[in-house]
Amino acid sequence: MSLEMNKIAASVLTAGVVAMGASFVGEVLIHPHVPEDPHYTVGVDKTKSAEKEKQEPKGPEPILPLLADADPSAGKNAARACAACHSFEKGGPNKVGPALYDIMGAKIAAVDGFSYSSALKGKEGEWTYQKMNAWLYDPQGWAQGTKMSYGGVKDAQERADIIAYLRSMADEKMPLPTEEEIEKVTGGGDEGKDSGSGDGEAKTEAEDSGADAGDSGGSGESDADA
């Protein structure tokens, strides 16, 4: 082997030894800290999140205080979009959804000749103002499995107007809620109790909507179940 080749081999060997030595020395001198649970923590203000959650309504606003001044004519206009699936006049036929004449105060899911979904057949009670309010607000949330595909009426005044219109379409109008019943749902005391009166029973809208209000015998919305 020539002298030149020996020099090259020696240089390569020396470089390898130096690299290994540097690595060893580095490990001895530097001790990296590896966390047991490697992740980056982002600070979240839980107080603000909780406050925001409290402020957000969990259901429809109480409807009883709005009914006395609700406008049936405005409700009729709002319900026009529902006419393709529902009839509102006396003696009107069932369509994709049931006929809605005299629906307020009537037994839920009980319109003659209409085939309701099992989601509505399992519901009990009558169509009170609170139940109708909850149904109009969120049909699917009220009766999971209903054929009603409408997303709901989120504006409280519009719901009140529609309910006023439904109330007007009857031989005998359902009585408006009394001052006592209104106070029960607005005073923050005994909101969740049911007074038992067919019209304005003082059950909270949210409670009513989660319990058995979900059937629709008459929201003015297009659905094959309402």
pLDDT at res. 121 = 84
Q: Which residue has the higher pLDDT, 148 or 208?
A: 148
Nearest CA to 191 among 207, 174, 178? 207
Q: Supply the DSSP symbol for 60.
A: P
| Domains in the chain: ranges and CATH | 55-211 (1.10.760.10)
Give the integer Cα–Cα distance in Å for 200 and 68.
12
pLDDT surpassing 70 at residue 210: no
pLDDT surpassing 80 at residue 183: yes
> What are the residues whose beta carbons fall under 8 Å from the beta carbon of 98, sequence distance 6 or more?
86, 111, 114, 116, 217, 218, 226
**pLDDT tens-digit readout, 15-34:** 666 666 656 555 555 555 65
